[in-house]
Every structure is written in structure tokens, then in C-alpha cells.
Amino acid sequence: MQGASLKHRVAVVTGAARGIGKATALKMTDAGAAVALVDVLSDDLAVLVDQLNAAGRNAVGMNVDISDKHAVDEMVERASRHFGKLDILVNNAGIDCAGLLEEANEEDWDRTVSVNLKGTFFCTQAVVPIMKKNGYGKIVNIGSRVSLGKPSRTVYGATKAGIIGMTRTWALELAQHGINVNYIGPGMIATEMFRRVNPENSEKTAALIDSIPLKRMGNPEDVANLIRFLASDEASFITGQTIFICGGMTVGIAHF
């Protein structure tokens, strides 16, 4: 299926080894982009990079913890040097943290903030000078519908809501440099992480699906299609926006 072209573009995708990140890497390379794939899951990452390169795509893997600023700066410098430029950043890497308010502890807070908020901040801060110099850039931040509120997600929800604030601020700061910044908030997506907690044929999963107006789970490709569009020139007049991709759940009042 034809989609927005990314021919001659270079992208960095974090959290690329599985789920939404993997689907995004596949979509972007399908669209003609060269991609630096970033993840801490080195084995899964290597398999994906080998798969892409064997298919004639242009991909390189980088085993990086995005909560480490020095490692992020080095990763961006390596990617830019390897490909000769850098046009697109997809801030997809993140970790979940479940628990009621009274159950959350400082360790949960620090680790989740370190990856989800600081990691997104570090990656974006590292790529912006390159994008400003080129007068072009597309930054897509992956958050969650949980940013609107969900029981047992105080810490996780706070980080994803925080990314909305950064997205809107960066969009205003960077527009004059030809850089677009947008936020995607996925709802229930059938990723490996989701399936571990919600087995496919369980009563809990059936109830969750029933709460979705479209009556189906989303899949990583649904999100990757939107990422590819926002990373393309077809979305050149879209910036600072929060787009929920959740089968209509944000319209209703379900709080699963």
C-alpha cells in the first residue's frame, strides 16, 4: 500500500526493536528512509537490522539507553556521521509503571521519568542543532492515551502528559527553523508489552476490547502509519498537535 514518501530522508527511531518502534522502522524504510534503530534490547534489535538490510533497506542498529545523556549525544553524532544528515526523530522509547498513587515509590518515579521524560528530552535536544542547521526537521513524540488519566497510572500518566507540554513548547520554539513537532497518544495497541499483561483470549482483554468504540484492538501498524505521515512533507502544516489513535476511546468515558 502506498503511503507518504520519505525518500532521501534519514530517521532515528528509539525503542525500535519491538512493537510500535519496529512497525515504524518497517514503514519508514518501506517509504524510502534510511533509519538508525535505537534500543536497549540488543538481540531483538540485531535481528531487525539484519532483516531490513537483507531486504535491501538502509538501517543501522544502536544499543543505547536513552536515559544516559552522554550515550544519546554519542548516538546522534554517530547516526548523523553514518548517514550524512538527520531529518526525522521518533521518540518512541518508554517504560510503563503500574500502581495506585499510594503504591508508587520514589524508585518507580525516578526510573520512569528518567526514560520517558528525560530520554525524550535528551534525544530531542541532541538532534535539534542538526535540524536547525539544515532548516528542516520532523519530531514525533509517542505518548499515550493514559495522559488523559487512568487509574493505577500516576507515574506513567504524568510522564506522558509531560511530553505533551514539551511537544507544544518545542513546536513554538522550532517552527521558525522549519521543524515540526507533534505528539501521538496510542490507546490499546496489541504490542508484546500489552499481551504480557492482557492475554489474548482472557475475559479482561475481551472487556477492554468491548470498551473501544471500534470494537477492536489497534495494532502497531496503525500507529506507524500515522508516524510515517507526520514525518513526511505531506504533514508540513501540522505542528504542536496531540493526536490520539485509540479507536474512539477518547470520545467516551471508559477508564480501562
136 counts as catalytic: no
Annotated catalytic residue, options 83, 121, 156, 183: 156
Residue 105 CB-density burial (10 A; 0-12 exposed, 13-18 middle, 19+ buried): exposed
Query: Which of the residues are catalytic?
Result: 156
